[in-house]
Amino acid sequence: MEEVAAVRRAALAGVDDVEPERLYDRIAARLADATLAPGVLTLVAEAAARSQPVADSDEDRAAGVQLIYEGLTLTRRLAHDNPWTTGDRDAADKDILIADILVSRGFYLLARTEAAGAAVQVVREFGNDQTELRTTGNDDLDGNLEVDICELAVVAGVTAAGHEPTEALRAVGSDLATDGLPDVETLLSGDVADRLAGYDNQAAADH
């Protein structure tokens, strides 16, 4: 699908100056295998707000959301597996560096957008959830990342179109991830765009 290719291309462009080459190759391999739903949802949200084709949306914002998600999911896996004590320490050291790079590059792409504050909040909440999980053992907290990242995707998308990210619009994003990330086909089916456009039009009418 063109939207998936666009997100992957923009995400790779966001890290294309990473050195050494072996480190970049490791990042590229991760992005090649990733679900790109967060980035695609960003494109869909902007397109719905603008009433335009998804292909005309801001790929850099989509890449920013995608890179943050990839970095945090890698961090989450490392926190759960703790490979420094049970596995390959060298590989774990590379992976934690990659996670930091992905999140920081995602922040860079969103830093001058209206979604910057929401991106910071996602990372802050992720840290709080992981701390609480280690204390309580409540695995349900892990799913909050997908909910939060889908909400961020909607915020990044609708603000790119100059629209206010209302609570109703944010809720569309979070509702999509109550059972984990939605698949790309669902996001591109038209139903999600219709929901987002409906709430956005209602907000405009209220004003």
Q: Which two tokens stand for residue 80?
A: 């759960």
End-to-end CA distance of the chain: 37
CA 197 and chain centroid, separation:
21
Per-residue pLDDT tens over the stretch 143-201: 899 999 999 999 999 999 999 999 999 999 999 999 999 999 999 999 999 999 887 55
Domain that holds residue 106: 2-206
Quote the pLDDT of residue 205. 46
Given a cut of 80, is residue 130 above it in pLDDT?
Answer: yes
- Average pLDDT score over residue span 122-126: 97
Number of domains making up the chain: 1
pTM of the model: 0.94
What CATH number has the domain bearing residue 178?
Answer: 1.10.600.10
Sign of torsion over alpha carbons 124, 182, 193, 198: negative
Return d(Cα 70, Cα 160) in angstroms, integer.
Answer: 22
Quote the pLDDT of residue 102. 98
Greater confidence (79 vs 27) lies with 27
